[in-house]
Each structure stands twice: as structure tokens, then as C-alpha cells.
Amino acid sequence: MAPTQLRYLPFLGLIPSTLATVLPRASCSNSITLPGEVPEGASQNVDPNFPGFAFEQASWVPYAQSNSGKPNEFSKNLMNAITCRTGGKPIIRLGGTSADYAKYLPKQKEAAIPRAEDLTKNFPDASYIVQVPLATTNVSETVEWAKAAVQRIGKDKIQAIEVGNEADLYGKLGNSKLGPPEFQGVMTNETYVGNFTKYAEEILKNVELPSGPIFQALDTSAHLSRPDGYIFDKIVNTVAHHYYQTSGGGAPELGPGLMTHSKISSRLDLYKPFIEYLQKSHPTIPFTISEVGNSLNKGHNYDYQAVLGSALWQVDFQLYGLSIGIKRFNWQQIMHAGYDMWLPVESAGTKPKVFSNFYAQPFVADFIGNTSGKTRVVYLPIEGSKDNVVAYAAYVGGSAARVAIVNLNLWDGGNGGERPSTKISFKVPGGVDGVEVVKLSSPKGARASADSITYAGSQWTYESFGKEVKNVRNDTEILEVKEGCVNVEVKNSKTVIIRLKK
Ligand SMILES: *[C@@H]1O[C@H](CO)[C@@H](O)[C@H](O)[C@H]1NC(C)=O
Ligand SMILES: *[C@@H]1O[C@H](CO)[C@@H](O)[C@H](O)[C@H]1NC(C)=O
Ligand SMILES: *[C@@H]1O[C@H](CO)[C@@H](O)[C@H](O)[C@H]1NC(C)=O
Ligand SMILES: *[C@@H]1O[C@H](CO)[C@@H](O)[C@H](O)[C@H]1NC(C)=O
Ligand SMILES: *[C@@H]1O[C@H](CO)[C@@H](O)[C@H](O)[C@H]1NC(C)=O
């Protein structure tokens, strides 16, 4: 046999293994080992609804409705660009501090702004996580709020009722003026469980709800311990935490603050015992991150929070999170916050626009794919990779379908030098005869804002009204598989999906 024919033989699957061992070794440095079948340590099946949304109660109106009072088509198109990629529906959380500390006045006739719940009809395929207050000591107020919300949104659109926002911070925020007239104050495990149970039971008694467990528990800011007790039985359908990678940060901290994988993985790893506990003891209750953003930067530092580097943080955060069993994410948006994915209307002299962080979402959604929940994700160690280049594999229906490489090394063209890259090579499973590489990047590097970023060559802008504009940049590559091996170079501050083609 001529050597040129030899290299195709392994794919025929006909050669006895004894013969296969005498074949020349492929020139593959195997920086990743990609098992053909789902390896141990892979996630459970990924929920197609994993890329969710969250709007601070007070910002929901402009996200849902245009300045002229019509459904906000720009928001709708952007949300659809994400959810259509997994075949999921948008799960929208309406909540946050403003909802917990607000007062509900059932007799108020003239609303100053449109009622939040009435705008849910602008997104007819969405489901809602509705937060009701726990901060107030008047449980009737919470019951009335829940009743009105469920009636106005529609029982069949309720994903969960979330009782209280970040109760671990009650009495610790240092701003007593925010609190309702009578305010719960500091809670312990016991008093949290006691109050949660009391409020949930009053809602159950007085509000017509969908059948089955319907409450979302915890929604804590950073409280990692696990209050055991009644709340995990019968009434809870989701356990949620909130996450912000940093609490500040400007342009110089972009690398250490957001573009450092070990800081992402070490913080997410703290949730592992909780996730494992739920999977073992309450397997029907998912663990989610119901409010997340890159940084709580009071100065809305767009050079830190709304650049390619922050979008790469968002990619790595989600892929690592999915790999350890986090079920869904609700990406928080507040008008003019630095971590936003888009500004929905013209406001404070700024035209509506798409921010860099949006680009993480079509990327991660495509990596999981439209598989009716048959994708599992695994983190793949890279041999010899010292630091900040990270790999994940997506298995669909049991076999390897895609590999993602996130190169978090910061490059911003600063010294005019060439953009360094990491070479990754790995053996593909039998039957794979080519790969397609799609990229999320900008030629300007980590500090680029959305206007020069593309994913798979596409852009989403206000000018396109949030619809995908294809072929803005033709940087998708088709690579050959040589001797069963594929070689990919991933430049610094760039992330790619390698699709295995059979
Ligand atoms: C997702 O998959 C479903 C079922 O296979 C299909 O009906 C739907 O059209 C797909 N959606 C997209 C956007 O491809
Ligand atoms: C508690 O809330 C209910 C419903 O809004 C209201 O009728 C009642 O007056 C409130 N009680 C107090 C003590 O504020
Ligand atoms: C609710 O929390 C407060 C403050 O921690 C506590 O005093 C009260 O006993 C709790 N109520 C229940 C029913 O646990
Ligand atoms: C809350 O409960 C968990 C689990 O039982 C325990 O590990 C933790 O120490 C408790 N925290 C507090 C503040 O009591
Ligand atoms: C990319 O390719 C498409 C289709 O071949 C072409 O229409 C488009 O102009 C190209 N875009 C660029 C930026 O070269």
C-alpha cells in the first residue's frame, strides 16, 4: 500500500487493531485528547433554554417597548438570534433589588409607567421568573404582587416565582433608605428558610399557580452555604445564585480581572458541592445563575466591561459553568450598565446599540446547538498549556461534534507586534474528514468594542435592527484532517468553534 493511501485506512473501521498499531503514527502533538464518546466528568444534557435573560425591574420597560410605545423589535430580534440557535425559548427574569425593595400598591390606579407585567405580551414565546419581595415584613403585600403578576402574565408563562432578591445582603447594604417601611433585616439559614417557606405558602394558598413546584429559592449574592430544610421539598423548582466576576475594574485590569480562566473556574468550582448535592438528592431541581454580569462597576466602565475581552469572559464563564452542571444563566441588563448586551432605545443622548457582550451568546448557543437537549459539555485539559487557553468539547447524542478553544491571553495590538497564537492539535474520532472553524474575534484585539467584532463573520447592529448581517468578515476556515489529526492555530484574545464534519 502506498503511504498516501495508508492514512485513510483507519477510517474504514475494518483494520484489526493489531494491524492498526503498525501503521505510522500520525504527526499529532495531541495537545487535547478528544474521546470519541462522552467521557466521564461530562455535564448532563444541556437545557436548550440555558441562555436566558434578566431585566432589572426598573429597566424592563425600555427593553420591552420602544420609545413610541410599540413592542421593542430590536430587543426581540436580538433575543431570537440567541434562542433560535438552540431551539429554546427565552426565559426572562424580572427582578433585582428594585423589585425587592419596591412597594406594591394594589389600589393605585394611574401607573406612572406601563405595568411591567403587561409588557410581557411583547415576547409571546417567553416564560418568566417573577420576583416578589421578601424584604418587606408585610406578607400580604407580597401575595398581592404575586397574584397580580400571575394574572397579568398568564399562568402558563410562569417559569418560577422567586421569593426575595439577595436576602443574604439584607441589613448589610448600608443604605437603610432603600428598605420598605418595615424591613426584615439580617437573616440566618433558619430565618431565611422560615420566611421563604412562610411567604411561599401564603402565595400557594392565595394565588392560582401552575401545578407542581414553582418557587425559585436562594437568589443570593454570594452566600455559598446550603440551607437544608423544607424549601427543597415539594415547592422549589429552581435553586439560583447570582454572580458578578468583579466588583469594579477599568481598562488596565481587563486581563487580570476578566480574562483569566483560573479566576473564573476557581469561583465557579465553589458551587460544585451544591450542584452535586442537588443532582444526588434533588435531581429534578436545577442549579442556575439567575443574575449575572461581568462586573458591578459603578462607573459603567465600557473599556473594561463592553469589549471583546469581556465577551470572551462571558464565553468562558458559560462553557465552564455548563461543564460543571450549571443549568441556565439569566444575563442581567439595566439601562446603561457596562455589562449590558444591548441598549434598547435611544436614551441619555446615546443611540440604541449592540454591545460586545452580546456576541458571546450566539457563540455559546451554536456550540451547544439545536439538539433538543441532547448536548453534553466537557472541559478538556490542554497538554502543556500553562495558563489561559481553554478547551471544551460538545457531545451530541453521545459522539463528539464540536470543540471550542478560548484563548484568553490579552492582545490589543499595543506594541504594533504580531498577534501571538497557540497551536492546538488533536486526533479526531473516526469518520471525521474535515473541520470548519468559526471565530469570535476582532482585528483590534481584546479592547475592541462591538463595531469591529464579528462572530462567524456576522454582525448584529441597530442599523440591522438586531438581525444577523452575514459575510461582514470572511474568516471561517475549512481545514483538512491529516492522518486523523487536525491542527488549529488560535490567536490571542480570540475564541473558535471547531465543527467536526462527517
Ligand atoms: C431546531 O430544531 C427543530 C427540531 O429539529 C426544528 O424544528 C427547528 O426548525 C430548528 N430551529 C432552527 C432555528 O434551526
Ligand atoms: C399590608 O399589605 C396589604 C396589602 O397591600 C395592605 O392592605 C395592608 O394595609 C398592609 N399592612 C400594613 C400594616 O401596612
Ligand atoms: C423572618 O426573618 C426575621 C429576621 O431574621 C426573623 O426575626 C423572623 O423570625 C423570621 N420569620 C420566620 C417565620 O422564620
Ligand atoms: C447554613 O447551613 C449550611 C448547611 O447546613 C451550613 O454549612 C452553614 O454553615 C450555615 N450557615 C450559617 C450562616 O448558619
Ligand atoms: C465575503 O464573501 C461573500 C460571499 O462570497 C461576499 O459577498 C462578501 O462580499 C465577502 N465579504 C468580504 C468582507 O470580503
pLDDT at residue 110, as a whole number = 46
Does residue 305 surpass a pLDDT of 50? yes
Neighbours of 147 (CB within 10 A): 18
Q: What is the pLDDT of residues 323-349, one digit of tens each?
A: 999 999 999 999 999 999 999 999 999
Phi, psi of 120 (to 5 degrees): -65, -25
Per the DSSP assignment, residues forming a β-bridge with 60 are none
Q: What is the pLDDT of residues 28-79, one digit of tens each?
A: 887 899 998 999 999 999 999 999 999 988 899 999 999 999 999 999 999 9
pLDDT-based confidence at 221, cuts 50/70/90? confident
pLDDT-based confidence at 8, cuts 50/70/90? very low
3-state secondary structure of 145: helix
Whose Cα sits closest to atom 9 in ligand 3? Answer: 191
Give the list of residues 6+ apart from residue 373 with CB closer than 8 angstroms, or none.
45, 46, 47, 48
pLDDT-based confidence at 181, cuts 50/70/90? confident
pLDDT at residue 19, as a whole number = 37
CA of 221 to the centre of ligand 1 (A): 36
Phi, psi of 18 (to 5 degrees): -60, -40
Instruction: Assess whether the C-beta atom of 451 lies below 6 angstroms from ligand 4.
Output: no
pLDDT at residue 435, as a whole number = 97
Asked whether 124 and 193 are in contact (CB, 8 A), the reply is no
C-alpha cell at 410: 490579552
Does residue 395 surpass a pLDDT of 90? yes
CA of 168 to the centre of ligand 4 (A): 12
Instruction: Assess whether the C-beta atom of 190 lies below 6 angstroms from ligand 4.
Output: no
Instruction: Assess whether the C-beta atom of 141 lies below 6 angstroms from ligand 2.
Output: yes
List pocket residues of ligand 3, CB cut-off 6 Å: 184-185, 187, 191, 194-195, 198
DSSP annotation of 203 reads H
CA of 441 to the centre of ligand 5 (A): 17
Pick the closest to residue 6 from 16, 20, 18, 17 (CA basis): 20
pLDDT at residue 25, as a whole number = 46
pLDDT-based confidence at 426, cuts 50/70/90? very high
Instruction: Give the span between the Cα atoms of 499 and 488, in whole angstroms.
Output: 12
Asked whether 501 and 399 are in contact (CB, 8 A), the reply is no
Does residue 26 surpass a pLDDT of 50? no
Q: What is the pLDDT of residues 126-137, one digit of tens each?
A: 999 999 999 999
Question: Structural domains in the chain?
Answer: 27-42+374-501 (2.60.40.1180), 51-368 (3.20.20.80)
pLDDT at residue 167, as a whole number = 87
pLDDT-based confidence at 177, cuts 50/70/90? low
Whose Cα sits closest to atom 10 in ligand 3? Answer: 191
pLDDT at residue 18, as a whole number = 37
pLDDT-based confidence at 187, cuts 50/70/90? confident
Whose Cα sits closest to atom 2 in ligand 4? Answer: 227
Instruction: Assess whether the C-beta atom of 226 lies below 6 angstroms from ligand 4.
Output: yes
Axis-axis angle for helices 189-206, 139-153 (nearest 10): 50
Using most ligand atoms within 8 A of CB, pick from 370, 371, 372, 468 the residue to mutate for ligand 1.
370
